Amino acid sequence: MNSETNATVVTIGGYVEVEKYKFAYFFTMLLVYIVIICSNVTIVCLIWIHQNLHEPMYIFIAALLCNSVLFSSVIYPKMMIDVLSEKQVVTYSACIAQCFLYYSLNGSEFLLLAAMAYDRFVSICKPLQYPNIMGKSTVYGFLVLAWLVPSVQISVPNILIAKTKLCNPTLKGIYCNNLIYKLHCTMSKAMSIYGVVVLINVAILPVFFILFTYAKIFVITYRSCKEVRKKAAETCLPHLFVLINFSCLLTYDVVTVKLEFDVSKTVRLIMTLQVVLYHPLVNPIIYGLKMKEISKHLKRLFTMENVKMIE
């Protein structure tokens, strides 16, 4: 029975009519995917190459951008295949795998942002203790936990639903997220409760921790000199912008399914594309332009490229 369930083909029914402009959609998605990869990887490489960027804050930024690349790679290739296909389908086992990676990487995003918030708190509020607190082992420990904790917690329901009987073979979205639960004949209360616990652990608690940490930073720096306040604003505001943007998009993703909002196919498609398009592009723009040291290296890189082109 399990092998039959895993081999079941799920129809992806969240697309609007794409046949007429399928090649235009395909090349648009391909272009966006290339821009996401190139922009994120460029900043990661700059952080890797330049010694003055080998600090915890920049290491966390590099991890966040790597997370965006992985997230986009989970979504975009399948979307491009679907656009060119006459029928948008996926096997149930592949759908479960995509759902697992989607939420694991989303959870990692929140935990990486929480690690960055803690790093900023120690750097600004406890500068003398910073080298001892944020050593290499601490940074690498945060990185391992950020990727490990969500994947372990999210793997449990994904393993269990692999054995669940399907009644509805049509997925309303354009990729496999928590809409996958709407395919099942029944949904156990235990699974629903566990899902809420995971949501609290990997999203809600990190968000509260980040907001509390930045509130403390701004309260402490408000009493300090203008230079300290400026430093706090330069490093904290980009992180807060990324957090707010990401939280709003993920809230839509979770709430529309949990509360069973009747959203039209076009609105659902537009909002879903916001999740997979807006966020992976915003991260490199925010950190590339607003983080002073990264911005310097980017300007030098493009200046050198322009000089080479002229020569």
d(CA 67, CA 72): 9
d(CA 101, CA 85): 23
Average pLDDT over the chain, rounded to whole? Answer: 82
Domain extent at residue 104? 2-310
Token pair of 109, please?
């995003």
Span 83-137, pLDDT tens digits:
888 788 888 888 889 999 999 998 999 999 999 999 989 988 888 899 999 999 9
d(CA 292, CA 290): 6
Residue 261 has pLDDT above 60, yes or no: no
Token pair of 198, please?
């995971």
The CATH number of residue 48's host domain is 1.20.1070.10
Q: Is the pTM of this model over 0.85?
A: yes
Nearest to 63 by CA among 161, 138, 139, 151: 139
| pLDDT of the residue at 1 | 42
Span 221-241, pLDDT tens digits:
877 777 777 777 777 777 787
Span 125-176, pLDDT tens digits:
888 899 999 999 999 999 999 999 999 999 988 888 877 777 878 887 788 8
Number of domains within the chain:
1
**Amino acid letter at 311?**
E
d(CA 266, CA 64): 30
The DSSP bridge pattern shows strands 170-171 and 9-12 to be parallel
Sign of the CA dihedral with 110 first, then 276, 80, and 270 last: positive
- 303 close to 297: Cβ distance less than 8 angstroms: no
The DSSP bridge pattern shows strands 89-91 and 9-12 to be antiparallel
d(CA 291, CA 288): 6
**Share of residues in the chain with pLDDT > 90 (%):** 28
Helix (H/G/I), strand (E/B), else coil: 225? coil
| pLDDT of the residue at 6 | 53
